[in-house]
Amino acid sequence: MRDLVAGVRYLGRGQRWVLTHGRWFGFGLLPALLTLVLYAAALAALGFWADDLATWATPFADDWSPPWPGLLRGVFAVLLWLGVLLLAVISFAAVALLVGELFYEKLSEKVEEAEGGLPDDMVEQSLWRELWIGLCDSVYVLGRALLFGVPLFFLGFLPVVGQSVVPALGFCVSGFFLTLELASVAMQRRGIDVRTRLRMLRDRKALALGFGVPLVLLFLVPVAAVFLMPGAVAGAALLVRDLVGEGGPEPAADGDEPAAAPAGTPYGPGGPHGVPG
């Protein structure tokens, strides 16, 4: 529970940081706005063609008596659009980070400088090298997300469970991988490869979910992703400092004791940053 609350706090601290540094907030809006326009066009196109896709994917229902073909295809179209929407939420951060590599890298660095300094073992790479690594890492993360997303899509057809438990699991999966994408900016700076990032967040699932799930829900609000993206990058930088043991104890709520970082973490300074999982 402590990690879950800490994740929410990092998200809030990131939003507060950019709001109190207005120049960096505006700096981070541009790539997110461009990405939103591209995604809105794609989702609108999917909504327009969803019925045709449902008919194409269910030819076996052509001979069914009414109203079953229409009911099946309606459910299929809705689940397809919702599934793609959740996938879009996960990939939105990845695409925005690729589009705004220079913007978000600089923003993340400024956050770390203000919160204790950049890591001593910071890895310097060319822009094209960073873009290539970011693209490969995003494809890897998207593939892992699909391993969960595809089964959840088909489980969505189950009565009751498909309309209650499955959506909740979908938000958790989306939140976890969204956190992984956003944390990649600060982790790549430390030379931590994508498999190690995944293992680090698996070890602190509650922290990742506390940060990512509220963000997924907020990203579903039209246009909200554009305004939340700079703060999400800032909050992820703070979260990474916690994960690698550089951030100190997480500030506690009034009346609580500070939450110390887990003892013996193998990811702090001197730990195996680049060891693949």
Span 195-236, pLDDT tens digits: 999 999 999 999 999 999 999 999 888 788 889 989 999 999
Predicted confidence at residue 271, as pLDDT, reads 43
Are 3 and 235 a contacting pair, CB within 8 Å?
Answer: no
- Indicate the DSSP class of residue 247: S
Q: How far apart are CA 35 and CA 31, in angstroms?
A: 6
Q: Is the Cα dihedral 46, 171, 217, 262 positive or negative? A: negative
Q: How far apart are CA 203 and CA 137, in angstroms?
A: 19
Residue 189: closest CA among 93, 263, 104: 104
Q: How far apart are CA 243 and CA 99, in angstroms?
A: 26
Residue 139: pLDDT band by 50, 70, 90 thresholds?
A: confident
Q: Mind listing the pLDDT tens digit for each residue in 100-125?
A: 777 888 898 899 988 877 776 666 66
Give me the chain's average pLDDT, please.
80
Burial 102-137 (b: 16+ CB within 10 A, else e): ebbbebbbbbbeebeeebeeeeeeeeeebeeebeeb
Kindly tell me if the per-residue pLDDT of 43 is higher than 90: no
Kindly tell me if the per-residue pLDDT of 257 is higher than 60: no
Predicted confidence at residue 212, as pLDDT, reads 93
Residue 276: pLDDT band by 50, 70, 90 thresholds?
A: very low
pTM for the structure as a whole: 0.71
Predicted confidence at residue 277, as pLDDT, reads 35
Predicted confidence at residue 122, as pLDDT, reads 66
Residue 35: closest CA among 103, 82, 83, 112: 103
**Average pLDDT estimate for 242-250:** 69
Predicted confidence at residue 75, as pLDDT, reads 80
